[in-house]
A and B are shown apart, each in its own frame.
Chain A
Amino acid sequence: MDTEVSFDGNYGPRRISVELANICNLHCSYCFRSDENLYPSHAEFFPLELLRRVMVEARSVANVTRINFTGGEPTLHPQFNETLRTIREAGLTVSFVTNGWHFERVWPALQENRAAVSFVAFSLDGITREDHDRWRGNGSFDRLVRAFTRCYMSKLPFGIKIVIRRDLVDQLEQIAIFAARMGAASLHFAHVMPTSDAIADASALSLDEQRAAEQEIAILARIFKMDIGVDVGYYNIDETRPPCAPLAGVSMNIDFRGRLSLCCNLSGFRGAADEGDVVADLNVESFASAYAKLNALAAAQLQKRKDALAALRTEGSTPDIYNGSPCLFCLQSFGKIPWHRSGF
């Protein structure tokens, strides 16, 4: 049985992640979004007019076919129904990541725009009520299971996203069983994106632990039909192709302020010292112009990583987790984790 983790080069549809809201109804301690982004003095929501304009331009310029809503919590957008309708009328498809708390409320909107809604990803923190609700509040697990059932019964493909905290690493197999029982189409793991030494020590896995977890996930992926993989933070030093969709130019991010940036995992990062991943403000700049800048940034970043890996090879060093993981490399080189002493 193949136990190696490999990236198969499928970057998914050409897409834009849009931070539909800057706020979230939950407050998960390991979340990498900064408090200033999530809990500001006032909520900010992505303007519908800007979404309409960007969709048209992105489709024409970058052949974008999918909009993926993130946040904050995207279902908190007061015009959530209208955003779905806008995308449906534009002939694009939409997916979104949600904690599921408000799923019942937005369900009619999903049904109304079912033709455009291609996928819903739910964040999970544990496979029992007790484990999940410890992180996400009482009643959260029940709401989530109800949402799974809604999707399953109406054949709306849904996936589960779960961060591999240290306390969950022994449960990967049980998580896969749970997801399959719920009828999930995908189960995507993410490593903890460290926002401080304290978070890294408490929740993140060491490189060896990560590799062991990734091997177990690869085995599960061979057994289940459900698409199982590691989305974020995986170790990948294969230089024959870009290690992720943003660096392959297949996905990009627009924050709640309307600024185009490289990746949703870098945007609004807690404790960040720099925003070099942001290339343009789409409120004042055309998508075409911003997209050209983004492509240049992605190419430069890809080269930067190749150079860093080549330098390590010359030294005869094995890349550590901050170089071996494309996500951590970007966090480091874009100044998102100034607390971490980088090797370069």
Chain B
Amino acid sequence: MDVSDLKGMLPVDAVVVDGRPGLKWMDMSGVSLAEPFFQQTVERVKTTGNRRRELFTEFDVLLQLEKHLDSVPPTGFIFHSSRCGSTLVANACRAVPNSIVLSEANPIDNLTARFITDAGDVKTSLYSVFLRGMVQALAQRRNGNEKHLFIKFACCSFAQIEHIRRIWPNVPWLFLYRDPVETIVSNLNDVPPWLLDNDRRVLASIVGVSPAEVAAMSLEELCSRTIGSLFSTAQGLANANSMLLNYTQLSVPVISSVLSFFKVSHSTQELETIAGTSRTYSKQASGTRTFVSDTDAKQKLASNAVREAAAKWAIEPYQLLEQRRLEQTARCG
């Protein structure tokens, strides 16, 4: 296969076929990444219109593509602890003209997970090189005028922030989080794939236990320990190049400050568009459902098991993180 065969194509998944890791590519010519999640766009393209060309390649091709691609370098990274408003922020970034938003794109997050699953087998530099190549492939200037690239990672990828920072040391990053009780309630109400992952090595690594111990945990405990670990990581690594943001702060002015933090200037008109996106339910592709803060509802729904798990594993890291955020805010005036 020649790299010219990949013209118009984007990597849409990172998979393992017959024990060999590789990439699935799909012809995405003329397709805008308009949906709140990258995979929603992929599904739309798969299910509408003519069947698109698909290809499987090994990772090598990313290294050869580097020489041929005109790509947008990352503008800002959005990390989060799950169900805390990060999609709203990503949608606001999408409202900025000439921007590309890669929201929880499987190829990026699956590759990031390999820092954990293949740890010990391969030095991390190999997957760092592949991850950089993957982002370059996804961030191709397909229209020619793209200027900003925002990457919203899946929540578990935040555990690999140190690897990611080593690849892109100067890219500002945001960490969004929420009260742990509300986060756990939301996750139990609609259990996300990351909590049900059969390959338990990623969660085991985040929580700091064995995969067998993960398998034996209740969802309340697993969710609580995972977000507690993410809070601790954020609290430990927050610096001048990062911004901590609590769900309770989400508002149009705060989202505007996030864009400023990412060094993206925006006009009043663009801010109105952003305000429009923040008033709709962020995860719905059609954008017709109105967004309503559900803090009270989540608190009322919390079971004793949820409260106990949160108290045991997540409340303290959450409070320390809040403290860190307040210190950061005070320093910034």
Contacts and interface: CB of A to CB of B under 8 A. Distances in A.
Do A and B assemble together?
A: yes
Interface of A: 1-3, 155, 173-174, 176-177, 180-181, 183, 216, 219-220, 222-226
19 contacts: A1-B19, A1-B118, A1-B121, A2-B19, A173-B123, A173-B125, A177-B125, A180-B60, A216-B122, A222-B19, A222-B20, A222-B21, A223-B58, A223-B122, A224-B58, A224-B60, A225-B57, A225-B60, A226-B60
A3 B63 CA distance: 23
Contacts of A174: 125
A294 to B, nearest CB: 37
B66 interface: yes
A159 B61 CA distance: 16
Nearest to A184: B60
Interface string B114-147: 0000100111011001000000000000000000
Contacts of A1: 19, 118, 121
Interface of B: 2, 19-21, 57-61, 63-64, 66-67, 118, 121-123, 125-126, 129
B11 to A, nearest CB: 15
A226 B60 CA distance: 7
A183 B64 contact: yes
A174 B126 CA distance: 7
Nearest to B64: A183
A3 B121 contact: yes
A223 B61 CA distance: 12
B117 to A, nearest CB: 9
B121 A219 contact: yes
A126 B64 CA distance: 20
Contacts of A223: 20-21, 58-59, 122, 126
B122 A220 contact: yes
Contacts, number: 47
B59 A224 contact: yes
B126 A177 contact: yes
Nearest to B122: A219
Given A1-B19, A223-B21, A176 B121 contact: no
Contacts of B123: 173
Nearest to B123: A173
Contacts of A2: 19
A145 B331 CA distance: 51
A30 to B, nearest CB: 25
Contacts of B21: 222-223
B60 A173 contact: no
A225 B126 CA distance: 14
Secondary structure of the A contact surface, majority rule: helix
B19 A225 contact: no
Nearest to B2: A155
A236 to B, nearest CB: 21
Contacts of A224: 58-60
Nearest to B117: A1
Contacts of B118: 1
A2 B118 CA distance: 11
Nearest to A222: B20
The 3 closest A-B pairs by CB, nearest first: A225-B58, A180-B60, A180-B63
A176 B19 contact: no
Given A1-B118, A1-B121, A176 B126 contact: yes
A180 B20 contact: no
A219 B63 CA distance: 18
A129 B245 CA distance: 46
B253 to A, nearest CB: 45
A274 B303 CA distance: 84
Given A1-B19, A223-B21, A224-B58, A181 B63 contact: yes
A3 B296 CA distance: 52
Contacts of A216: 122
A220 B20 CA distance: 10
Contacts of B60: 180, 224-226
Contacts of B121: 1, 3, 219
Nearest to B18: A222
Contacts of A177: 63, 125-126, 129
Nearest to B21: A223
A220 B122 CA distance: 8
B64 A181 contact: yes
A181 to B, nearest CB: 5
Contacts of A222: 19-21
A223 B121 CA distance: 11
A1 B18 CA distance: 11
B49 to A, nearest CB: 31
Contacts of B19: 1-2, 222
Contact of A173 (B20, B59, B66, B122): B122
Given A2-B19, A173-B123, A181-B67, 16 more contacts: A1-B118, A1-B121, A3-B121, A173-B122, A173-B126, A181-B63, A181-B64, A181-B66, A219-B121, A222-B19, A223-B20, A223-B21, A223-B58, A224-B59, A225-B58, A225-B61
A177 B62 CA distance: 10
B71 to A, nearest CB: 16
Interface core residue of B59, B67, B125, B126 (most chain A CB under 10 Å) = B126
A225 B57 CA distance: 8
A1 B2 CA distance: 28
A204 B51 CA distance: 55
Contacts of B67: 181
A323 to B, nearest CB: 29
A219 B121 CA distance: 7
Contact of B64 (A3, A155, A173, A180): A180
Contacts of B126: 173, 176-177, 220, 223
A155 B63 CA distance: 17
Nearest to A172: B123
B15 to A, nearest CB: 13
Nearest to A218: B121
Nearest to B16: A1
B1 to A, nearest CB: 9
A222 B129 CA distance: 16
Chain B CB within 10 Å, residue with most, of A2, A3, A180? A180
Nearest to A170: B123
A218 B20 CA distance: 12
